[in-house]
A and B are shown apart, each in its own frame.
Chain A
Amino acid sequence: MTETANVRAKNENEALLSRRHVLHLGAVSGGALMLAGLPMSAWAEQAAAAAPVSDKDAHFFLVIHMFGGMDGSYLFDARPLEMTKNEKMQNYLGKEPVLWQGSNGVDTWATELVKPLEIYKNNFSVINGVLMATTFDGHDQNVNFLVTGNAFGGESYIPNLNAGTKTPLDALLAGFLPVQANNHASVVPMRLGAFNSLRAQMKVATALDGKSPVIEFIRSRMAALGQGPGRFSEGASALLKMHGVSEALYQKLVTVPDIAEDPAKDSTADSMRLAFEMFRYGIAKTAILSNIENFDTHAAADAKKQPELYTKAVASIEKVFKLLKETQYDQMRSYMDVTTVLISSEFGRTMRSPMASTVQDTGTDHNPLTNMMIVAGKGIKGGEVFGATDFQTSDEVLSGAHLALDSNKLKVMGRPFDFSTMKPSADKPAGLSLANYITADSVVNSLYGLFGVDKSHYRVVERNGPVAKTIF
């Protein structure tokens, strides 16, 4: 390229860039965009091009993971104070729960903390008593179980939801989710600040444009080295193949408008806003927001703060629902209409610690025998309650299945579930048969059903067991 050509290219590029871009770039790059003729025109042309297209079949997925082990007894799986008076369980809220009536005829006790969610009642349903990895009680193991169906990790369900009209990324992850998934390569950790920084870097980077000579050359070498047998050739060939897909991702990313960070530094609002744009522009179908509040209240001092902790948790959920309802996907639909939402944790919590002398001064430990989840949005009828837990009174006779897993009677456990009536069963089985309970596998298979995932991915209960039945 001659000097004249360089100057001309530079002028063209600058003309194509908006004033906002130029100001932004100047601040970020310190003038580096003066360098090459290649990058800027491609960026600006693409950024000015396609607007997002409304998809009548749009269907997105939002996961809110409350990491640490959320105690349903402060939300939709509460217990009467009688349990506390009889030293069975802590209750630092100190108030009797109220009845939360499901539109499907199933009720549950809820605390007053959930009151702010009442206005969204028709948008979400509660699932109580979800069994996790019953014989493992580690955080990682149960996150693995929830996400992959195996306490030691494996195939995550999240990329499987990205079937049909495939997006370049499987999911955005904001926060911390310690999962050993063998298919999470396109689950991209990203917060809004990082996204804006990356885009600033992309703007001054050489455009990933197959028509530019240097990119064409790079691909020609990948092609040349990809010839013939051997793992290196196969690797080069795979690299070449993905270079093209990556260009498509690049083109989508450059069309996303700048997303301003929340003035109040609200990370949930920022992550939601980023997720909405990623959905709208067809970059990802799923966003995972992993909350880092301290739900892991082993110490009594931490457990005593649970009323405040769950007040904040409810406020976060309320904010998510509000944003989903009030943000339009297109003229006719809000994001609540086009997004299925799963709010969960990796397990519930024990009712008290075995070490504590009194329930007035106890922490709580991990309890994989139950988990409370909330599902909302597209495909969810709303207002329903699925599942239930045992140990509703201090003198309840527990099942043999429960006692085999919790001989000290420190845990509540999901009750058996009648999948034909979709209601909790009063059975007290002597032994555990997971097919008769709501497990994380049932929840995932239900999501698979909503997203039209191929049956071959459906999870089975236990090794070589039947396919886990769906609940919504």
Chain B
Amino acid sequence: MKRASKLFSLVLPISVLVVGSVALSAPSEFRGYEAINSLLRQRLMEPGSKFELGIYLGQPVRSIFNSNLTDLLGSYSSGAMNSKFQNGAANAANVLLWHVAVSGLARDISRLCVEPAALPVQPRFKNIVDSLCGWPAASAKEEKVLLKYWFALMGYRADQAEYEAWRDFFLQTYANAGPAETIAAMTLAIGNNPYFLLQ
């Protein structure tokens, strides 16, 4: 726990600066498909990866004229006269689409335990997942393992209380669950957290 506190004391002020620099008016909107997708590429995938979160929506992901499901996850319009961020506010459709997309990613990450080629992830992230593959063994529940997974996916925007809530939930509710189920649920919980999804 001490280790966690130290890390958070270091990163929190930076994250506050980042979050605080956004315009202070309307409720925070989704970061948008492109932002989340490139974030996932940087944090999880091999360099140069062409990973697209949109594959979990079952559609080609590159569209013209905003006519694809991924455009509903928050995107810049490509109208001829102006360009603005649209579909950033939560609604029934995009919340469901985020859920399905993140759920697909979570499922593939959890498959890495038994199928290393399930996703083209970078070795560093694969090592972190491997540590969790021993779940529910004690080694997989160590603070350093959980913290690494949290930071690998969430980055440094969320505060320590958020991490602790996540950690405690899985240590209790998933105490005896299998690794695939646990890793998938852990990923889903991070991927649907407002710190992850919202600007």
A residues bordering B, Cβ < 8 Å? 1-3, 6, 32, 35-38, 138, 140-141, 152-153, 168-169, 173, 175-178, 180, 182, 184-186, 188-190, 194, 196-202, 204-206, 208, 213-214, 217-218, 220-222, 224-226, 230-232, 234-239, 241-243, 245-246, 248-250, 253
Contacts and interface: CB of A to CB of B under 8 A. Distances in A.
Given A194-B58, A198-B100, A38 B181 contact: yes
Contacts of B67: 173, 175-177, 189
Top 7 nearest A-B pairs (CB, nearest first) are A197-B58, A235-B28, A234-B27, A205-B103, A246-B95, A236-B194, A242-B90
Contacts of B22: 231
A189 B71 contact: yes
A234 to B, nearest CB: 4
Interface string B127-168: 000000000000000000000000000000000001001100
Contact of A201 (B57, B162, B181): B57
Given A239-B198, A246-B95, A246-B96, 13 more contacts: A152-B82, A180-B82, A185-B89, A197-B58, A198-B58, A202-B100, A206-B103, A214-B173, A239-B197, A241-B90, A242-B91, A245-B91, A246-B93
Contacts, number: 191
Nearest to A198: B58
A168 B194 contact: no
Name which of A141, A225, A248 has the most chain B CB atoms within 10 A of its CB: A225
Contact of A168 (B25, B93, B103): B93
Contact of A218 (B79, B178, B188): B188
A25 to B, nearest CB: 13
Interface of B: 19, 22, 24-29, 56-59, 63-69, 71-72, 77, 79-82, 86-87, 89-96, 99-100, 103-104, 106-107, 110-111, 162, 165-166, 169, 173-174, 176-178, 180-181, 184-185, 188-189, 192-195, 197-199
A188 to B, nearest CB: 5
A428 to B, nearest CB: 34
Contact of A238 (B89, B111, B189): B89
B24 A35 contact: no
A221 B27 contact: no
B130 to A, nearest CB: 17
Nearest to B162: A221
Contacts of A184: 86-87
Name which of B25, B93, B188, B192 has the most chain A CB atoms within 10 A of its CB: B93
B69 A231 contact: no
A225 B194 contact: yes
Name which of A196, A198, A221 has the most chain B CB atoms within 10 A of its CB: A221
B189 A214 contact: yes
B189 A201 contact: no
A3 B79 CA distance: 53
A175 B65 CA distance: 10
Given A189-B68, A231-B26, A239-B90, A180 B181 contact: no
A189 B92 contact: no
Name which of A2, A218, A248 has the most chain B CB atoms within 10 A of its CB: A218
